[in-house]
Chain A
Amino acid sequence: SPSWSGLNTNRKMRADGDDSLYPIAVLIDELRNEDVQLRLNSIKKLSTIALALGVERTRTELLPFLTDTIYDEDEVLLALAEQLGNFTMLVGGPEYVHCLLPPLESLATVEETVVRDKAVESLRKISQEHSPVDLEVHFEPLVKRLASGDWFTSRTSACGLFSVCYPRVSSTVKAEIRQHFRTLCSDDTPMVRRAAASKLGEFAKVLELDYVKSDIISLFTALASDEQDSVRLLAVEACVSIATLLPQEDLETLVMPTLRQAAEDKSWRVRYMVADKFSELQKAVGPEITKNDLVPAFQNLLKDCEAEVRAAAANKVKEFCENLPEDNREQIIMTHILPCVKELVSDTNQHVKSALASVIMGLSTILGKDNTIEHLLPLFLAQLKDECPEVRLNIISNLDCVNEVIGIRQLSQSLLPAIVELAEDAKWRVRLAIIEYMPLLAGQLGVEFFDEKLNTLCMAWLIDHVYAIREAATCNLMKLVEKFGADWAQNTIVPKVLGMANDPNYLHRMTTLFCINALSDVCGRDITTKQMLPVVLKMSEDQVANVRFNVAKSLQKIGPVLEKITLQNQVKPVLDKLATDKDMDVKYFAHEALSGECLPYEYS
């Protein structure tokens, strides 16, 4: 068969052929293999192929072939586009870097956005390796070709290339580039206008300030009032960069009318974008405009009729307040922002409330102790009692901010019922989430409060009917011991955990073993040897096979914590006995433990 002859010749080749050529020959052939993985593999080793071919053949043969190979799968094209960005030395250095333009140009026109974006990224990279002359002779014409291409895929790609050539070309070419960009900003297809809008800020950054004021502002204004929502919302992003570039005195006339219009746009998606970019906008326009314009705009966004917008704005409450000018920050928050925040606490939409809950605690550091106690505490308490578990969880997960300002005791009265309720929530994912905050809470509430109020909960999770909860509860115990120490463990949780070894339910008996697995290390040799080990060994006689093989697993797990003599005298006999168990699985895990890497060699 052909495959055998292949093998034979393979061997023969090693004897008298050129060893170094064969693997390259395979790679080249596999560029067109039917199996996409092999093609991908070859493309990823394109530099090896190019190195073997030499710069001349790479330029004259490999690149022309690659230029026309745009029929392939996305992942292959994506890898190709990435490779070509690092190919300059392989085609002969910066002098020849323009040879890479044709394949990247064809990749910049494919329909798949990720591939196009990668091709543009590589083009941007290699543009830096062009000499100023080559940039005008080779690169800039490519940008023009793409910009005036028939299909919008090529025109969208062009949008990302203007900013890299502009700083390095003559003023005549600069004027042409500005004209091309202007044309694309009013392209017929929304795709191209979106691409132009998303690159507007970046292009503005490389333009001379006069052109920013004359050209960019008019394009920005036009895009910000485009008929397509998806274009207008991208202009909001550009607004940040443009505002950063302009001197303060021009902002009012050149940027603010557009920004005000965007904050009140008919489409919620545009207002959402404003809310989402609010902190950036705030920094870009500076303190004065923030006080006069952004504060009322922010109030409106917090009261928006669309919940998505309110949620986005609620997410920004802390950051916005933090960045307010310090001289009258407190006054602005107290008179303008806090009233809106109070309303959001009882919003009809749970996403809004939970967005607020994730940041509201941060206000306490800004407002200080007295304001927190008087104004914020009632809101925290209300949110701790919210019907939606996510809201309560978000408050609990951010307790540390309040702890620093007023101490957590102020909250403990309401905190406890909230925690208990979450701990018993019917949805296991909610229970899981609260378990994950337990170590944090324990740290903040202190050991006495914990013992008194929360210990019982932590133990109750060990017998939850959902395995994921029992597992998390085990892990939680370990973290608590890390926090409170081995002595605490010995007095509070170890007796309870070991007590479960006699539970009639075998699942609970297994939980004992899982806990021991997790705790032996943090509790140390003494507790493990004296208290835990006897229980584990006794459980090797359990009537349920699952328990017995978990004993074997546990012994393997806690082995490293024990002394050699203990292993030899107590553990090994039990494992030997389990190794002759009638149950297959028990035998298997006993053997595993006996030959396990973590056990000393005496075992085997």
Chain B
Amino acid sequence: MLRQRQTHGGQNDIKRGKNVSMETDIISTVEFNSSGELLATGDKGGRVVVFQREQESKSQPQRRGEYNVYSTFQSHEPEFDYLKSLEIEEKINKIKWLPQQNAAYFLLSTNDKTVKLWKISERDKRPEGYNLKDEDGRIRDPSTITSLRVPVLQPMDLMVEATARRVFSNAHTYHINSISVNSDLQTYISTDDLRVNLWNLEITDRSFNIVDIKPANMEELTEVITSAEFHPQHCHTFAYSSSKGSIRLCDMRQAALCDKHCKYFEEPEDPSTRSFFSEIISSISDVKFSHNGRYLMTRDYLTVKVWDLQMENKPLETYQVHDYLRGKLCSLYENDCIFDKFECVWNGSDSVIMTGSYNNFFRMFDRNTKRDVTLEASRENSKPRAILKPRKVCVGGKRRKDEISVDSLDFSKKILHTTWHPQENIIAVAATNNLYIFQDKVN
């Protein structure tokens, strides 16, 4: 059972007394770090906000586990490509944390074109004492300088700084849709619509193109890459998904160029359900390896599928996210919602998966019990520590109490980005410009 923990964001509405939120405040990605102590969000305005979990404190035990803002910084700025006359949005498409290597934290953030490596570090000491100035900053009369002073470090209020350590640019002609750090902790991949590039985390002026699906003639283009991820343990394996609903697994040991895949996962299409929308709704919007590295999860418009790496011809499990929309595809096509890119996540033990839907609903599927639940992330219905009530959508006919009709769903309220704490049952859900953090009921 999930309990509301916290809500962040949306302050703009309150301060300005407006109903419409700022477009730039819309959260575009959300990600826990590998210990779960930190949580980062990126938004359309190019900002990254890092939240830190409060340490246990005896005086305020109820605050234990609360996530508070730790650092906010502008990761990307809007740019203009003068050669192609193209605007480059500052929107943060993805954030990936690096495993911690010293007292500082590191993350990669990317917009459409440029990946940046950020360092977030603390400073709690300040040097004091000048030779040429006195304590108040006044210039001292040099004739009074009869001895040298070496500055001394004094404690000060904790300051958190974010500095851009590396900028990886000029490697993508198309829009970057994902980044993924290799288990060798030395390299990462960045993926756009047609190519996958391999980078060394320390080298910014060179990357290696390892997948290129661009046809010689762009008119023959039938498929684009939608997402890619490294295997969590095998440094040589990565998977990428395509707009045609297939996933390719590549082995970097076999060759320097991975244009040839080593495994190809695809479910044969059911001819009985074929329609104008089949191809659009089968496009995969996200692919994620399970933590144990045995499974792949993919999200398409209406379903989440779990694939066994050993079985290429069909998914092991298929979960319906919002099958009630099957009859509404025509209007979803007209309002462009059919092209929404929903992400999906595993819980820490790979037993539950979560993905978003419309009307601020998000779904969870328990792989063992086969039970599923629809929950709602919203400011109105939830007070802090309130227990989330499961929601139901009814299709046509009689609407029972507490049910919501498919026709009254709000398609502008979509939950595209969610993340699950790597060990505990804490989830973060981005609903437009609000971030909701929920925690499993604790005794």
Residues of chain A at the chain B interface (Cβ within 8 Å) = 2, 5-6, 9-10, 12-13, 15-18, 21-22, 24-26, 28-29, 31-32, 52-53, 57, 61-62, 65, 68-69, 71, 109-113, 151-154, 189-191, 194, 227-230, 265-269, 305-308
Which of B143, B146, B148, B183 neighbours the largest number of chain A CB atoms within 10 Å of its CB?
B148
Closest to B122 in A: A71
Contact B127 A57 (CB under 8 A): no
Q: Which residues of A contact B101 (CB under 8 A)?
A: 111, 151-153, 191
Residue-wise interface mask of B (81-108) relative to A, using a CB-CB cutoff of 8 A (1 in contact, 0 not): 0000000000000000001111110100
B204 at the interface (CB under 8 A from A): no
Partner of B145, one of A17, A190, A269, A306: A17
Contacting pair A32 B151 (CB below 8 A): yes
Give chain B nearest CB distance to A99 CB in angstroms. 14
A230 lies within 8 A of B235 (CB)? yes
**Residues of chain B in range 296-330 having any CB-CB distance to chain A below 8 Å:** none
Kindly list 6 other residue pairs between chains A and B, CB separation below 8 angstroms, not including A111-B165, A228-B235.
A13-B142, A13-B143, A21-B146, A29-B133, A71-B121, A228-B184
Q: Are B141 and A9 in contact (CB under 8 A)?
A: yes
A300 to B183, CA, bound (A): 30
Roughly how many angstroms separate A305 CA and B139 CA in the complex, as a whole number? 71
Does B152 count as interface, using CB distance less than 8 angstroms? yes
Are B183 and A228 in contact, with the CB atoms below 8 A? yes
Overall SS of chain B's interface: loop
Bound CA–CA A209/B78 (angstroms)? 62
Q: In the assembled complex, which residues on chain B have CB atoms less than 8 Å from the CB atom of A13?
A: 141-143, 145
B119: chain A residues within 8 A (beta carbon): 111
Contact status B235-A190, CB under 8 Å: yes
- Determine if A22 and B142 form an interchain contact, defined as CB atoms under 8 angstroms apart: yes
CA A6 to CA B133, docked complex, whole Å: 10
Chain A residue, CB-CB nearest to B163: A73
- Contacting pair A24 B148 (CB below 8 A): yes
| Pair B186/A68 contact, Cβ less than 8 Å | no
The yes or no answer to B391 lying at the interface (CB within 8 A) is no
Determine whether the beta carbon of A52 is less than 8 Å from that of B102: no
Q: How far, in angstroms, from A91 to B129 measured CA to CA in the complex?
A: 22
Contacts of B255 in A (CB 8 A): 268, 305-306
Q: Is the CB of A68 within 8 A of B151?
A: no
A26-B132, A228-B235, A230-B184 known; A111 vs B145 contact (CB < 8 Å): no
User: Once bound together, how far apart are the Cα atoms of A191 and B235, in whole Å?
Assistant: 13
Q: In the complex, what distance in Å separates the CA atom of A13 from the CA atom of B145? A: 9
Nearest CB in chain B to that of A52: its residue: B148
Residue B74 interfacial (CB < 8 Å): no
With a CB–CB cut-off of 8 A, which chain B residues contact A5? 139
A-B pairs with beta carbons under 8 Å apart, 22 shown: A2-B139, A5-B139, A12-B142, A17-B142, A18-B146, A21-B147, A24-B148, A25-B131, A31-B151, A62-B150, A65-B127, A65-B152, A110-B102, A111-B101, A111-B106, A113-B202, A151-B100, A151-B103, A154-B102, A228-B184, A229-B253, A306-B256
Q: In the complex, what residues of B have CB within 8 A of residue A268's CB?
A: 253-256
Distance from B189 Cβ to chain A, minimum over Cβ atoms (Å): 15
Q: Among the interface residues B130, B150, B185, which one has the most CB atoms of the partner chain A within 10 A?
A: B150
Contact B141 A18 (CB under 8 A): no
* Nearest residue, chain A, Cβ from B254: A268
Residues of A near B106 (CB, < 8 A) are 111
Nearest Cβ in chain A — how far from B35, in angstroms? 13
Q: Determine if B184 and A229 form an interchain contact, defined as CB atoms under 8 angstroms apart.
A: yes
Contact call A266/B152, Cβ cutoff below 8 A: no
Q: Given A71-B121, A191-B185, A308-B256, do A32 and B148 touch, yes or no (CB 8 Å)?
A: no
Q: What is the minimal beta-carbon distance from A11 to any residue of chain B, in angstroms?
A: 9
By a CB distance below 8 angstroms, the chain B residues around A111 are: 101-102, 104, 106, 119, 165
Judge if B367 is at the interface, Cβ distance under 8 Å: no
Residues of B within 8 A of A69 (CB): 127, 153
A31: nearest chain-B partner, CB-CB: B151
Q: Which residue of A29, A113, A189 contacts B131 across the interface (Cβ within 8 Å)? A: A29
Residues of B within 8 A of A269 (CB): 253
Given A9-B141, A65-B152, A190-B183, check contact A29 B132 (CB 8 Å): yes
Chain A residues within an 8 Å CB radius of B234: 227
Query: Given A111-B102, A189-B185, A191-B186, do A53 and B121 touch, yes or no (CB 8 Å)?
Result: no
Q: Does B236 contact A (CB under 8 A)?
A: yes
Question: Does any Cβ of A come within 8 Å of B233's Cβ?
Answer: yes
Which of A16, A29, A154, A265 has most B Cβ within 10 Å? A29
Distance to closest chain B CB from A44 (angstroms): 18
Given contacts A5-B139, A111-B119, A268-B255, contact A29 B150 (CB under 8 A): no
Q: Which residues of A contact B151 (CB under 8 A)?
A: 28, 31-32, 65
| Residues in chain B near residue A305, CB distance under 8 A | 254-255
- Cα distance A307–B186 in the bound complex, in angstroms: 23
Chain A residues positioned under 8 Å from B99 (CB to CB):
189
Residue on B with the closest CB to A25? B131
Nearest CB in chain B: distance from A352 CB, A = 12
A68 to B125, Cβ gap below 8 A?
yes
Which has the most chain A C-beta neighbours within 10 Å: B145, B146, B152? Answer: B145
Q: Does B64 contact A (CB under 8 A)?
A: no
Q: How many Å lie between the Cα of A269 and that of B144 in the bound state?
A: 66
Given the known inter-chain contacts A29-B131, A227-B233, please indicate yes or no for A61 contacting B256, CB distance below 8 A: no
Are the CB atoms of B139 and A109 closer together than 8 Å?
Answer: no
- From known contacts A32-B151, A191-B185, A268-B254, infer whether A25 and B104 are also in contact, taking CB-CB under 8 Å: no
Which residues of chain A are within 8 angstroms of B121 by Cβ–Cβ distance? 71
